[in-house]
Amino acid sequence: MTRPQTPLNSGFGPQSTAVEVMRGINLTGKVAIVTGGASGLGLQTSQALSAAGATVIVPARDGVKARQALAGVDRAEVYPLDLLDPQSIDAFAHGFIRSGRPLHLLINSAGVMATDLARDRRGYEAQFSANHLGHYQLAVRLWPALQQARGARVVAVSSGGHRIAAVDFEDPNFLQRPYEKWTAYGQSKSANALFALALDRRGEAFGIRAFSVHPGTVLTDLARHLSEAELDSFGVSKATAHGSIPEGQAAGEGGDYKTLEQGAATALWCATSPQLQGLGGVYCLDADIAPIDSPDAPGVATWACDEVLAERLWALSEQLTGVRLG
């Protein structure tokens, strides 16, 4: 069944770490694909899955850099993939399908944030393309392997930034409206949440469950496109942004900032926790199902957990990519 946006009281919280949520989890013989799995939160995720026994496949644009980052991570494999290039996505997915392996976990952790206006080769706005459309196409192309797992989970890494903007179905690619980088980012993160909801509806009958997550506020290389002034507003600098926490702003201590180990916890919990057995289609944070936004309990915006909007996004994604299930 698909559970409403109601917290489980999982026993975890904003300070919970990857090690804590993975305690007792055995993934021996399981196969995971982690986009963005060679840096930041994705690297933490890859390391934790490997430590639990999984084979971890990391698609990357820069294979040399990815292999260096993953040195020492057992059973890590790196293959080329560019989420802005539909042919590259198809080539990666077809290669995996030809391997004959089931896919037990697909964690869509790669992304870009607040970039200047750029477009993929189809003319689609780059944040919407990389953060959503590329992952949509990847999941659909990998569908046979997800089915083969007979119990797979897909995790879409969204963000609290989804509250900045809902999906503009009339002009998602900023062809008519003026481009604003934070609006574009917020739209792509809302799309991540809606994607998981629509995917879960299609996958439930095949044992494929999907979740979206807000990892928390974690300062990673995702902030590389921000100016010094923008970083200064977060209380950090370019020299100290990666993995840092501004003084007095630690999660659970009156602040919002998390370490990398804390930031990876929710995606890992969604990917592996037995507490979510039989559930799906929900937005999670702090290693629990998030509430719907209210003044007392910020969680997920209503537009990001709306089944009608999720179906509308799925149809738009089919239209824009030309890729469909079946």
298 — pLDDT class (breaks 50, 70, 90): confident
Sequence-distant (6+) residues with CB within 8 A of 106 are 32, 33, 138, 139, 142, 146, 152, 153, 154, 155
Write out the two tokens for 90. Answer: 């198809």
- 185 carries an active-site annotation: yes
The SS3 assignment for 102 reads coil
pLDDT tens per residue across span 164-191: 999 999 999 999 999 999 999 999 999 9
For the chain, how many helices (H) and strands (E)? 12, 8
The first and second tokens of residue 59, run together, are 């698609």
pLDDT of residue 239: 46
Q: How do residues 194-214 score in pLDDT, each as one tens digit?
A: 999 999 999 999 999 999 999
Whole-number Å distance between alpha carbons of 201 and 311: 10
Residue 59 bridge partners (DSSP): 79
Q: Can you tell me the mean pLDDT for 51-60?
A: 98
Say if strands 152-157 and 283-285 run parallel, antiparallel, or are unpaired: unpaired
Q: Report pLDDT digits (tens) over 11-37.
A: 999 999 999 999 999 999 999 999 999
Question: Of 216, 217, 198, which is closest to residue 288 (Cα–Cα)?
Answer: 216
Distance CA 286, CA 282 (A): 13
Identify the band that residue 226 occupies on the pLDDT scale cut at 50, 70 and 90: low
Catalytic entry in 136, 185, 257, 283: 185
* Domain boundaries defined on the chain: 18-217+259-320, 219-257
Per-residue model confidence (pLDDT) at position 238: 46
pTM of the predicted model, to two decimals?
0.92
| Residue 237 predicted with pLDDT over 50 | no
Which burial class, exposed, middle or buried, applies to 96 when counting CB atoms under 10 A from its CB (0-12, 13-18, 19+)? buried
Rounded Cα distance, 258 and 46, in Å: 18
Amino acid at position 308, single letter: V
**How many Å from the N-terminal Cα to the C-terminal Cα in the chain?**
23
How much is the pLDDT for 231? 53
Question: Does 228 have pLDDT greater than 80?
Answer: no
Cβ proximity of 283 and 290 under 8 Å? yes
Residue 82 CA to residue 232 CA, distance in Å, equals: 31
Domain 18-217+259-320 is in which class? alpha beta
